[in-house]
Amino acid sequence: MKALTPAKKAEAGSAPLPPVKGSVSDTGKLVRTVLHSLEDAKAEDLVSIDLHGKTSLADVMIVASGRSNVHVGAIAERIVKSCKENGLPTPKVEGLPHCDWVLVDVGDVIVHIFRPEVRTFYNLEKMWGGDRPGEGSAKGARAAN
């Protein structure tokens, strides 16, 4: 995965906001840390979605699957542990009691971890990955490159 560059941020059409207290200015480091954690925890079907120009919630969304509720919870806990070990802000986690769908908010990176059937039902990749109504096809083509 490529590190985000200032040119990519300028492409989004607006100047980047100043970092929020406790946030990490190096989104690339966040993404690398999260992806390494996902791979260590044996997460499956990893998909990374560039959110520049689509929302101000985050720069990158990562969607992954775990084989069971226990595996989904273990993956989320691995991300939290890895962030702490690398001196990154402690992520906010939602959904741990049931572990059908766990959201890990690492600031500029949002991670959704699903059991496969729940992932298929919500289909976030389709919602965020391609052109949404009212968006031009040039924007989608640029995100695909």
Question: pLDDT tens digits, the chain, 145 residues: what are they?
Answer: 444 444 444 444 444 433 333 444 577 888 999 999 999 999 999 999 888 878 788 889 999 999 999 999 999 999 999 999 998 888 999 998 899 999 999 988 999 999 999 999 998 888 777 654 444 444 343 444 3
Q: Which fold has domain 24-128+136-144?
A: Beta Polymerase; domain 2 (3.30.460)
Dihedral of alpha carbons 43, 47, 48, 51, sign: negative
Give me the half-sphere count of Cα atoms (radius 13 Å) on the Cβ side of residue 108. Answer: 25
For residue 4, report the phi and psi dihedrals to the nearest 5 degrees.
Answer: -75, 135
Residue 130's pLDDT is what? Answer: 62
Terminal Cα distance for the chain, rounded: 12
Residue 56's pLDDT is what? Answer: 80
DSSP conformation letters of the chain: -PPP-HHHHHHTTSPPPPPPTT--S-HHHHHHHHHHHHHHTT-EEEEEEE-TTT-SS-SEEEEEE-SSHHHHHHHHHHHHHHHHHTTPPPPEEE-TTT-SEEEEE-SSEEEEEE-HHHHHHH-HHHHHHSPPTT--HHHHHHHH-
* Cα(51)–Cα(30) distance, integer angstroms: 15
Q: Which residue has the tokens 């500029």?
A: 108
